[in-house]
Amino acid sequence: ESEDHMRISTVASPLMTVAATGIAVGSWFYQPRWLINSLRRALPSVLFHVPTQEPVFALTFDDGPSPEHTIHVLDLLAEADAHATFFVMAEQVRKYPTLTRRIVEQGHELANHLVTNRPAISMSATEAREAMREATDVIADISGEQPRFVRPPAALFRPSFLRAAEQAGQRVVLGSAYASDPLHPPLGYVRWAIPSMMRPGSIVVLHDGRQNRQLTVDVLPDILAAGKRLAIEPRTLRATVGLAMA
C-alpha cells in the first residue's frame, strides 16, 4: 500500500504542477467567473468586477494615449455613444497633451497607469509611491482630472503598492474580461472571449497605446455590439461604481 501511494504521488505531483501551470497561463487569456470570485475574496481591496446588477459594464483602455490608435478608439466610442476609462501613462500624457484633453472633452475618464510600462511588481514601496504621485500630478496638470483609480503596469504588484494607492486615495483596479491583447492572440479568439466574459459589472481591459494596438481598434466594434446584444451599456469605471453604490 505504501509503494502504491508513492507511485500515485510520483505521477500526481507532476500532473498537478502541469494543471496549475495551465490554469495560471490560461487565466491571462480567459477569466471564468469562479476565478474572478476567488480573486475578489482573496483581495477585497482590489477591484476586479463591480458588484452590480445594473445593466452596465466598465470599458477600460491601458498604456495610452497614442495618436496611432487612441484617436480611432475615440471615434468608435463616439459613434456608439459609449464611454470608457483610459488608464494613461504620464510618459504618454506628456507627449500627447491635446489628445489627453480630447479624451476628457468627449466624456471619458482618465485613470492612473503610472509613468512608464515598468512592471509594478519590480517597484519598491518608495518607487511605487513616487510613480503614482508623478502620474497623478501630470494627469491633473494637463487635463484637470484627478484620477480615482490606478492599474499596476503588467498587473502584478506587491502589498506596498496597495498601501501607496490607499495613501493616494486611488483604488487598485484589474479586470474581469481580458484576453491578453498585447500578446496578439487571434482576432477571432478575442472577438469570442471578451463578449463571453461580459456581464453586468464586468471590467473589460484593452490596450490603446505604446505599441501596435490595431487589435483593439479591430475588436472594439464587436465588444460594443456584444454590449447591445447583452443589454449592458459601456460606462466609465466611475459611473459603473457609482451605480453599484447607489
Catalytic site positions? 62, 207
Pick from 227, 169, 178, 239: nearest CA to 203: 178
Cβ atoms of 210 and 92 closer than 8 Å = yes
Element (H, E) at 67: none
Distance of CA 127 to the CA centre of its chain: 21
Distance CA 121, CA 128 (A): 9
Cα 158 from chain centre? 17
For residue 99, which phi and psi values (nearest 5 degrees)?
-65, -35
- Please count the other Cβ atoms lying within 10 Å of the Cβ belonging to residue 233: 20
Q: Measuring CA to CA, which residue among 171, 159, 175, 237 is closest to residue 28?
A: 175
